[in-house]
Structure 1
Amino acid sequence: MLIAIGLAMDSFAVCIGKGMCRRHFYPWRSARIALVFGLFQGLMPFAGYALGISFATWIQDYDHWVAFFILFVIGVKMISEGFVAGSGEECLGCDCQEDMTINWRKVVVLAFATSIDAMAIGLVFVSYPGTIMRATVTIALVTLLFAFSGMFIGVRFGRRFRFNVEILGGFILMAIGTKILLEHLVAG
């Protein structure tokens, strides 16, 4: 669940940004956009897992280091992007029209871009057999909820309050990576 929340922060932040550009919240429109983010975020760890299975025997002795490294690097990347994104540019590249049309090309590109990190996370689940299906469903559902909430928050409160959730997500992923490493080192 913590990995899902950490991964969903990118989508959450993007959807807040998209919502900030709009004056009205349309639940059905937001739900369809959130569904795309959830699908990408859920399928990418499965793709990473499928790629990781091919070298699972090699990685077994080093899986805790790989998990730590992947989660730590992604966490640092999210934190640094959070500081860069928080530097004050308002509504850059938004589609501020108030019609109901959705630029699906832009939504898919954003969903793919925010889910690349999730592909690397799929490698973490190679050392935990039998968990990938539950993990992908959890990641997809959490991302769907966070993306939908992000659109709502962006429309309702985004212009009044400034906050950066990517930094929080980065710290969550770094903490999970550190926990995995310490568990393996202490347990032997």
Structure 2
Amino acid sequence: MSLFSLMILALGLSVDAFAAAVGRGAAGGPPRLLPALGTGLVFGFVEMLTPVIGWALGSAFAGYVEAVDHWIAFALLTAVGGRMAWCAVTRTEDAPPAGRSLLALVCTAIGTSIDAMAVGVSLALLDVDIRVAAAVIGTTTFVMATIGLLAGRMIGERAGTRAEVGAGVGLALLGCAILWQHSIA
């Protein structure tokens, strides 16, 4: 697989992380680079790790992973998104936004990277150097998630609680879309 093909693959895999980071950013405060870099790092690391796990499992377990990956992504994203939207609606003025914890960030990153595990299984069948593939995928996702968080924060500054509700609903809908795509495939 060429480097160009790997970059296209990485961009495709990073779109979910970008969308989730936009939602997370919209629920936060004013845009700041350090939190954006931290969010990008978590998304990038998880997105880099999951194809390596998939590659290690190889084709022997491909059917098992593919049978449940969409359910895992659906559960994680709808739970985090639903809680974020609910807390935005029921929160008092002085309470912090929901879904801002490290656990919520990691769950969201895992939920958006489950498909990368299945890609890792495919990469094992194509005899691709997994170190190069993982580095390209992780770096691309890091950049996309960082940009997404900063863009989301700019949106969130203007929209307030509506942005937080929209972000939560968006994450839940992303989980539903993943489930729907797998059910019609």
1:167 matches 2:161: no
Structure-1 separation of matches of 2:48 and 2:101: 19
The higher-RCO structure (CA 8 Å, 6+ apart) is 1
1:114-164 CA-to-partner distances (Å, cap 9, x unmatched) read: 133423524333233156554433432221112112222233442686642
1:7-58 deviation digits (Å, cap 9, x = unpaired): 3454434433331xxxxx5x6xx12321111111111122233334332333
Counterpart in 1 of 2:3? none
Q: Count residues with an aligned counterpart.
A: 161
Indicate the percent of aligned positions where both proteins have the same amino acid. Answer: 16
- For residue 116 of structure 1, the aligned residue among 84, 98, 107 is 107
- One-letter identity of the residue aligned with 1:92: A
Normalising by structure 2, report the TM-score.
0.65
Q: Which structure has greater helix proportion?
A: 2
Whether contact under 8 Å (1:8, 1:139) holds in the other structure is yes
Equivalent residue of 1:145, what SS?
Answer: helix
1:38 touches 1:139 (CA, 8 Å); kept in 2? yes
- Identify unmatched segments of 5+ residues in structure 2: 1-10
Unaligned runs of 5+ in 1: 20-24, 95-108, 184-188
Whether the 8 Å CA contact 2:81–2:168 is kept in 1: the answer is: yes
Rounded Cα–Cα distance in structure 1 between residues aligned with 2:136 and 2:184? 24
Q: Does 1:128 align with 2:122?
A: yes
The Cα RMSD (Å) is: 3.3
Whether 1:92 aligns to 2:92 is no
